[in-house]
Amino acid sequence: MPGDAVEQLFGLQGEDALLAQLEHQINTLPEREKLSSVLETKSVTEDLIFVKQAESVEIRKNEKRLELELSSIETRLKEVDEKLYSGVITTEKEAKSLQDEIGHLKDRQDTLESELLEILSQIEDSTTTINELSSELEVINKDIQVLEGAIKRNENELRQKILEAKDRRGETVKVLTDEILKSYEAHREHFPSDAVVRFNGPTCNGCHLTMSAMETDRIKGLEVGALTECSECGRLVVR
């Protein structure tokens, strides 16, 4: 077998190593990890907005309820007031009872009005929070767009490099015999990154174990460029 054909095996192995590296880069793009953390933040923010909006609906219901009760107290106060000064009340006892009612209504009115003030301030806080969260969400969505764009660009670039490496690999494969190729592929299953190593004395360049003197002599005796196997690890060794 011609030595330079075996030499092409190293080219093939180089392209395979490059392909594995490019695939790894595609799978571990730092932007992808960043994106998944931003998506997580987005989901937390959306949940929070949902909760705050539900809270806001409840607060507004309370506001409505207080306003209704206040309005009915006002109506009642007007009625009682009119009755008190209409002249139809003749006894002291009746007048006292109406004045007591006015007192109770006014107390209740005070309580409700301070509750309403509290609720109005809650509504203001809630609106501020929802607005802040919505702005955060906008920023998050922009970040997502930028990251997705970067991922697409980087992935396309890497895929282009993969196509080029595959083309070069295809050219290299053409000059190798089926027998060498099959042997290389079979060894690659066990040694994905260094199925074939160069002979460089008794220490194997793959497993770094020292071959016996007899084995070393056997390989030394081979023609330069000949293909054999390491007796220790089984990797392909090019003399």
User: What is the closest distance, in whole angstroms, from the C-beta atom of residue 182 to Zn ion in the complex?
Assistant: 20
| Shortest Cβ 233–Zn ion spacing (Å) | 3
Closest to 47 measured CA to CA, from 171, 174, 140, 116 = 140
**Amino acid identity, position 22:** L
DSSP at 200: -
Q: Which is nearer to Zn ion, 187 or 235 (CB)?
A: 235
227-229 and 196-198 as β-strands: parallel, antiparallel, unpaired? unpaired
Straight-line distance from the first to the last Cα atom of the chain, in angstroms, rounded to the nearest whole number: 12
CB 48 within 8 A of CB 62: no
Judged by beta carbon, residue 158 or residue 206, the one nearer Zn ion is: 206
Residue with smaller CB distance to Zn ion, 48 or 207: 207
Count of beta carbons in the 10 Å neighbourhood of residue 128: 10
Closer CB to Zn ion, 63 or 215, in the complex: 215
Angle between helix 178-190 and helix 3-27 axes, rounded to 10 deg: 40
Would you give the DSSP letter of residue 96?
H
Smallest gap from Cβ 141 to Zn ion, in A, equals 55
Q: Phi then psi for 236, rounded to 5 degrees? A: -70, 135
CB of 232 to Zn ion, least distance (A): 4
Give the residues lining the site for Zn ion (CB under 5 A): 204, 206-207, 230, 232-233, 235
| Residues paired with 236 in a beta bridge | 196, 229
- In the complex, minimum distance from the CB of residue 230 to Zn ion, in angstroms, rounded to a whole number: 3
- Residue closer to Zn ion, measured from CB, 55 or 232: 232
Nearest CB to Zn ion, comparing residues 195 and 230: 230
- In angstroms, give the least distance from the CB of 210 to Zn ion: 10
Please enumerate in sequence order all residues whose Cβ is within 8 A of that of 143, keeping only pairs 6 or more positions apart, or say none.
Answer: 38
